[in-house]
Amino acid sequence: MPIAQHRTDLKTFNQNFEGFSMQTIVLADLKVKGGFVNKDTVAGGYGSRFRADSVMTRLAKNIRCVFQNLPSIQIGYLAAIFAQAGHKVVYTRGEQVNGDLALVLTSIVDYKNERLWAQQARQRGMRVGFFGTTATHMPELFADAGDFVICGEPESACISLAAGQNFDGPVLSKAIDDLDSLPFPRWDLIKSKRFGYANRGRAGLTRAVPMLTSRSCPEHCTYCPHRITANFRARSPESVLDELTELCSLYKEPHVVIRDPLFTLDRARCFSIAEGIRTRGLRLSFECETRMDDLDEDLIRSLHAAGLREIGFGVESVEPATLKRVARRFIPHEHMRNMVALCWELGISTTAFYVFGFLQDTEESIEATIRFACELDTTRANFKILTPYPGTPLYKQLKPLVFQTDWEQFDGYTLNFNHPVLTPRRARLMLGMAYSRFFFRPSQLLDLLGLHKYSRIPLLQRADAWSWRRQDYFDRPWVSQRKSSI
């Protein structure tokens, strides 16, 4: 639908809120100390905390502070809902500000700080509510620190709040099936420095904003929290294109970070969006996450022509049997290699995601996954440790093995259950090995300098092999303590 029609719908949306006084609504997305913390859609909304404990992980943390420096997409939507109803919206990263009602974005990795901020806000006379995945599936963490806890996707409950309704205790917020009916996020109300984003194509910074073109995920991976809050729904291509058009009118050549866990699920829809971007003459770039088996050459080329500059995808483990045990469909390695090679040809960055600590994992199988990550030749890689998040089938399975009582340690990089082979220290050592082996390759330096075409020459291949052997030498003291998996 054209933007004018969308605005007409929002006028009707706004009429529902007539007849009450304006309030000041404080939206709190609290800044965190200690490591790099990413909340919101990361880990299905539970959030993650990346702590640095080596040269390589410190470098990775600092890079993330630039490349993943984005505001909360949920905060953007709630700002739009309350502003459309006539309320004043105030955004805070932790400063105590005055208002009538505060809504706090929750995470599992920083819930203690979120509770403390809420308690201080209540002492100053504000009503306080919590929202987010952690509030939905672990409301007991916040029940005594605020006036109410929103359980579910928050928009439905916040529409009622904006209309003047008061809540106490747990509040069920039903997912909105028609995502096209929601107003676009109001990034102009989010007064934050979190829009600085390193440009993938040229020097300097560019304006970047997150975007959701769908909610939830239709896959059935037992460890993934993306699908546990609501069913999968997708916006129409017209709604997506209208939001992109608005972003281009507000910012010069914005970079859009599509946060859907499976953007290319509907191939025809993706072609329609790509064609619409070109037809409307939108000057932008974007990145997305997906499954590699939902990509083919025609689709990648079409999306690239529309502005696609980065793809993130999950590999998780090199072992098909391991993936089968967690209900993840195996993707042929040759197909992944072909798609990565095509992305290099087109200038599209790729990031592969890997997970260590499946019950079938041994240190040898993890090392095989690390070696595969280097051979796959993606631009970047992200390695994490299996985390049994509450609400997932994996949590139900592993709950008797979970020994960690501090929920903030469920950060995506810490082993929290009794593994058949790994200890928390050994898992962390394997994680450090993964980052150093991947990023300390000589060919990786050329990749980062935009000279990938030279990184496959025999001399560089020999240099990569030498680098692996040298790191083997330095890792020998702790690798020699490895327990046999036989």
Q: What percent of the chain has pLDDT over 90?
A: 76
| Letter string b/e over residues 231-244, b meaning 16 or more CB atoms within 10 A of that residue's CB | ebebbbbbbbbbbb
In CATH, which of 3.20.20, 3.30.70, 3.30.1050, 3.40.50 is domain 3-180? 3.40.50
**CA-angle at 477, arms to 424 and 470, nearest 5°:** 110
DSSP 198-252: E-SSSSSEEEEEEE-SEES-S---TT-GGGSSS--EE--HHHHHHHHHHHHHHSS
The pLDDT confidence band at residue 468, using thresholds 50, 70 and 90, is very high
Per-residue pLDDT at 57? 63
CA atoms within 13 A on the CB side of 454: 9
Q: Which residues contact 384 (CB under 8 A, 6 or more apart)?
A: 48, 353, 354, 355, 356, 412, 413, 431
The pLDDT confidence band at residue 3, using thresholds 50, 70 and 90, is very low
Per-residue pLDDT at 4? 35
Interval 450-472 mean pLDDT = 89
- Residues shown for the chain: 486
Q: Considering only residues 317 and 4, tell me which one the structure prediction assigns the higher pLDDT.
A: 317
As a whole number of angstroms, the distance between CA 231 and CA 479 comes to 44
Q: Do 366 and 326 meet the contact criterion of CB atoms below 8 Å apart?
A: no
Side chain identity, residue 17: F
Other CB atoms within 10 Å distance of the CB of residue 313: 23
Lookup: tokens for 81:
């809902």
Left (φ > 0), alpha (ψ -120 to 50) or beta: where does 425 sit?
alpha
> Quick one: which of 255, 265, 168, 268 has its CA closest to 216?
265
CATH topology classification for 195-439 = TIM Barrel (3.20.20)
Would you give the DSSP letter of residue 377?
A: T
The pLDDT confidence band at residue 271, using thresholds 50, 70 and 90, is very high
Q: Considering only residues 383 and 197, tell me which one the structure prediction assigns the higher pLDDT.
A: 383
CA atoms within 13 A on the CB side of 370: 26
**CA-angle at 238, arms to 236 and 314, nearest 5°:** 50
Q: Determine phi and psi for 100, rounding to 5 degrees.
A: -95, -35
Q: Please state which of the ranges 10-19, 83-92, 271-280 shows the lowest mean pLDDT.
A: 10-19
Interval 457-484 mean pLDDT = 88
* CATH 3.40.50 segments of the chain: 3-180
| pTM for the model | 0.91
Would you give the DSSP letter of residue 21?
A: -
As a whole number of angstroms, the distance between CA 69 and CA 107 comes to 17
As a whole number of angstroms, the distance between CA 200 and CA 346 comes to 13
Per-residue pLDDT at 1? 35
Per-residue pLDDT at 480? 86
Interval 435-458 mean pLDDT = 88
> Quick one: which of 435, 456, 271, 270 has its CA closest to 345?
456
The pLDDT confidence band at residue 55, using thresholds 50, 70 and 90, is low
As a whole number of angstroms, the distance between CA 105 and CA 40 comes to 8
| CB-count exposure of residue 91 (10 Å: 0-12, 13-18, 19+) | buried
Per-residue pLDDT at 158? 98
Q: Please state which of the ranges 33-42, 297-306, 422-431 shows the lowest mean pLDDT.
A: 33-42
Side chain identity, residue 390: P
As a whole number of angstroms, the distance between CA 104 and CA 201 comes to 35
Q: What percent of the chain has pLDDT over 70?
A: 89
* CATH 3.20.20.70 segments of the chain: 195-439
Interval 102-128 mean pLDDT = 97
> Quick one: which of 185, 276, 180, 277 has its CA closest to 233?
180
As a whole number of angstroms, the distance between CA 198 and CA 248 comes to 18
Q: Is the per-residue pLDDT at 296 higher than 90?
A: yes
As a whole number of angstroms, the distance between CA 14 and CA 380 comes to 44
As a whole number of angstroms, the distance between CA 295 and CA 309 comes to 15
CA atoms within 13 A on the CB side of 463: 14
Interval 468-475 mean pLDDT = 91
| CB-count exposure of residue 160 (10 Å: 0-12, 13-18, 19+) | middle
Q: Is the per-residue pLDDT at 199 higher than 50?
A: no
As a whole number of angstroms, the distance between CA 467 and CA 374 comes to 12
Q: Is the per-residue pLDDT at 193 higher than 70?
A: no
**CA-angle at 45, arms to 291 and 421, nearest 5°:** 70
Per-residue pLDDT at 7? 40
Q: Is the per-residue pLDDT at 67 higher than 70?
A: no
